[in-house]
Structure 1
Amino acid sequence: MAGIPPEPRRDPAGAEKPRPSYYVRNPWRNVGAGAFAGASTVLSVTTLFYALGRLPLVLVGASLVVAALAFGFGLYARRRAARVDAAIFGDDR
């Protein structure tokens, strides 16, 4: 092909190391974000239906407990994600 320079040949023995990727697949990041989103959704729906008078006070208390558990699980997942990242990158946290 005219006008296109040939690609440089790379010897497998003298090949350069690939650059390290800064993206690491860590499923705990998504779990943490999902838990925080779930807690926020539960609180929003509870507030909306309680304000409309469609939710008894007993169920509001149960919803608050569920939201608190989801938030706590989000904090746990965030700590696990930090531990996984530290193990991958060799950082002691």
Structure 2
Amino acid sequence: MNIKPISHNANYIKSYEDNKRVAEKKSIEPKKDSVEISDVAKSLRVISNDDIDGLFDEKRVENIKTRVKNGTYKVDSRILADKMLRIMKGREV
């Protein structure tokens, strides 16, 4: 019968203890989250609901909603694509 000495398993035990210490050390260090708010976002905070209400025409919005609901609203893809390109190029807002 061949019995291996205990020191053969000592490396495994040492590795386990080392890993355990590293895991315990990592769990002690709390991670902190942070958030940065851009200047643009800060400027949006000062806009009131009254300012937003003046930006669009309610009658026009209701008209479009009704036409979408009825299935009669048509989009001219050329005009839409042209406007998208102008916005992307920074020529129109």
TM-score by length of 1: 0.30
| Higher RCO by CA contacts (8 Å cutoff, separation 6 or greater) | 1
TM-score by length of 2: 0.30
